[in-house]
Amino acid sequence: MVPMQRLFTPIATSALAMLLCSAETPAQDRPMEMPHAEAARLHPRELYRDVQNEPLPEESASTPVHVMGAPFNVVYGWFPYWTSASATAGMRADLLTHIAWFSIGVDTATGALGSVDQWKSTSAVTWAKGKGLKVHLTITCFGSAELRALLSSPNKRARCVADIVSALDLRQADGVNIDFESLPASQRANMVSFIQALRAALPQKEITIATPSVDWNSSWDYATLARIADFLVVMGYDYYWSGSTTAGPVAPLKGETYNLTRSIDAHLNAGVDPERLVAAVPLYGRTWTVSTTARKASVVSGTSSATPTYSSAQNLVGMSSRLHDELTRVSWFNDASSGVIKQTWIDDSLSLDAKYRHIKSKGLRGVGFWALGYDGGRSSMWQGLGAMATTSSIAEDQGHDGIEQTDDGDVDLYTLLGQHVFHGPAHTLAQSPLPAGVYVRVSGRRSRLIIR
């Protein structure tokens, strides 16, 4: 028996739960309109240094959760150009269906694409093709003025479409992801025209579109775009961002004015078929300098935030004693070791699992990630995703304590954080001294989530 270390501290006592529910919380700031644009702007700084050449953690060598196929019809991951191609060594190709290389921008003066040099040479595309994954090229244009300049001109739109066709041919890509952020309302119809032209030029390729978590100005004709494209990928993050005046969850599942649940519902209510919608979740969090240790404390004026990835956050002071916020289903913690108070909110494997289950309950086509490489090859992230492929519902397993008494072979048990906590005959698992919680149970090539 491997000793069980309590890395995840849920809100367990009724007193603490009542305290959090009754606490005064500032109004949620308007979410960031351009999450990928901000990531691209900040990537040369220290915020993303850990995804350049980060060695894979030792835990990545642990026994993986074996699955038979991807856990959703689509598992879509953006792979940013600033992430080392060596990050593919820690990625589970059997759990992915698509990699969208990010990105090539557009010259809005002409409609022409920018440099294709990195796209032509990146070994990440070669790796993905070798694993049988579909490869997409992400095309970016960020900002209302920029999109107005591009989309308002039929000639520029035509040039952009032609260049996209040529760029896909360079790597025999399977499709394209259009990532246009801060679309102005005046370009609603022109955006549809652009996608129609792209479909006409690429009848046999996949077309996907990154869409915002909140459509502030009714700029997006979701239903029409979803019928033309293969599917939309809603960017379900940056609800709290670098400009927020209080700390808070980057991607709340619920419990806020703006959250992933409402973003998904907004797309569905607009007429998008669930089979044409993918919900993307973050493999990063955010750390603010705050005035107190209170939940969602005020950000100290004039300070900047940092963006820990899923992997780098594991080494932050306070991560091992983090709280799971039941109101938003995201984890958070404080760190005052430097003499100032830092508050971090980040999705871990447990909060990601809650998002996966909600996405599946809505019948969506799949899940997406911003961004591949931020996982650092950590088994906790991949095992949590893999468990969705074969598990029955928690409700079905709950009544049986997750134990198949007829299975006399050896089983392994993992926490959702990737810790290996049990190995032995299945019939002895029921008597093992493990605390109540949610686990991944592996038997042979079968895995599932259990509650005990």
Residues 6 or more apart whose Cβ sits within 8 Å of residue 342:
287, 288, 289, 290, 334, 335, 336
For the chain, give the percent of residues with pLDDT over 90. 68
User: Mean pLDDT, the chain, as a whole number?
Assistant: 84
**Torsional class of 411: left (φ above 0), alpha (ψ -120 to 50), beta (otherwise):** beta
Provide the CA 213 distance to its chain's centre, in angstroms: 13
pLDDT at residue 436 in the model: 60
200 or 428, greater pLDDT: 200
Per-residue pLDDT at 179 exceeds 50: yes
Q: How is residue 349 annotated by DSSP?
A: H
pLDDT digits (tens, 9 = 90+) for 354-373: 999 999 999 999 999 999 99
Over residues 271-284, the pLDDT tens digits come to: 999 999 999 999 99
Strands in 218-276 per DSSP E: 231-235
Asked if the peptide bond before residue 371 counts as cis, ω within 30 degrees of 0, the response is: yes
Closest CA to 426 of 417, 446, 416, 382: 446
Strands (E), 244-312: 277-282, 285-290
Alpha helices in 229-372, H assignment, sequence order: 260-269, 349-361
Q: For the chain, which residues make up each domain, given as ranges?
A: 27-286+348-390, 394-451
Using CA atoms, how far apart are residues 139 and 99, in angstroms rounded to an integer? 14
Q: What is the pLDDT of residues 43-79, one digit of tens each?
A: 644 334 444 444 444 443 333 444 446 789 999 999 9
Instruction: Give the pLDDT mean for 396-402.
Output: 32
pLDDT range class, residue 408, cuts 50, 70, 90? low
List the single range of 237-241, 385-389, 426-430 with lowest mean pLDDT.
Answer: 426-430
Q: In this structure, is the dihedral angle defined by the CA atoms of residues 90, 130, 357 and 34, taken in order, positive or negative?
A: positive
Of all residues in the chain, the percent with pLDDT exceeding 70 is 79
Measured between alpha carbons, how far apart are the two ends of the chain, in Å?
Answer: 17
pLDDT value of residue 445: 58
Name the residue type at position 180: F
Peptide bond into 242 cis (omega under 30): no
CA distance 446 to 452: 18
SS3 at position 77: strand
405/268: higher pLDDT: 268
Q: What is the mean pLDDT of residues 204-233?
A: 98
Question: What digits encode the pLDDT tens for the residues 296-306?
Answer: 999 999 999 99
* pLDDT score, position 3: 32
Structure confidence at residue 400 (pLDDT): 32
* Per-residue buried b or exposed e for 258-296, using 16+ beta carbons within 10 Å of the residue's own CB: bbbbbbbebbbebebbeebbbbbbbbbbbbbbbbeebbb
State the DSSP H helix or E strand holding residue 368, giving kind and residue range, or none if neither: strand 366-370
pLDDT of amino acid 394: 32
- pLDDT band of 451, cuts 50, 70, 90: low
Of 53 and 444, the structure prediction assigns the larger pLDDT to: 444
- pLDDT tens for 317-331 read 999 999 999 899 999
**Calpha distance 210→36 (Å, rounded):** 10
Q: How confident is the model at residue 423 (pLDDT cuts 50, 70, 90)?
A: confident
pLDDT of residue 24: 36
Residue 29 pLDDT class (50, 70, 90 cuts): confident
pLDDT at residue 237 is higher than 70: yes
Going by pLDDT thresholds of 50, 70 and 90, the confidence category of residue 99 is very high
Helix (H, G, I), strand (E, B) or coil at 221: coil
pLDDT at res. 411: 81
The predicted pLDDT at position 304 comes to 95
SS3 18: helix
| Contact indicator for 347, 33 with CB cutoff of 8 Å | no
Q: How far apart are CA 236 and CA 366, in angstroms?
A: 13
Flag whether the pTM goes above 0.85. Answer: no
- pLDDT at res. 390: 55
**Per-residue model confidence as pLDDT tens digits over 242-272:** 999 999 999 999 999 999 999 999 999 999 9
Q: One-letter amino acid identity for 344?
A: T
Where does residue 26 rank: exposed (0-12), middle (13-18), buried (19+ CB within 10 A)?
Answer: middle
**What's the rounded Cα separation, in Å, for the pair 55 and 377?**
9
The CATH number of 27-286+348-390, from 2.120.10.30, 3.40.50.10740, 3.20.20.80, 3.40.47.10, is 3.20.20.80
Q: Is 143 helix (H, G, I), strand (E, B) or coil?
A: coil
Give the tokens for residue 440.
């991944």
Higher pLDDT, 25 or 343: 343
Q: What are the structure tokens assigned to 357, written together? A: 């289950």
Report the alpha-carbon distance of residue 344 to residue 29 in Å, rounded. 17
Residues 6+ apart with CB under 8 A from 141: 105, 106, 108, 147, 150, 179, 180, 181
Residue 417 pLDDT more than 50?
Answer: yes
Supply the pLDDT for residue 427: 75
CA–CA dist 108, 153 (Å, integer):
10
What pLDDT score does 271 carry? 98
Model confidence at 27, in pLDDT bands (50, 70, 90)? low
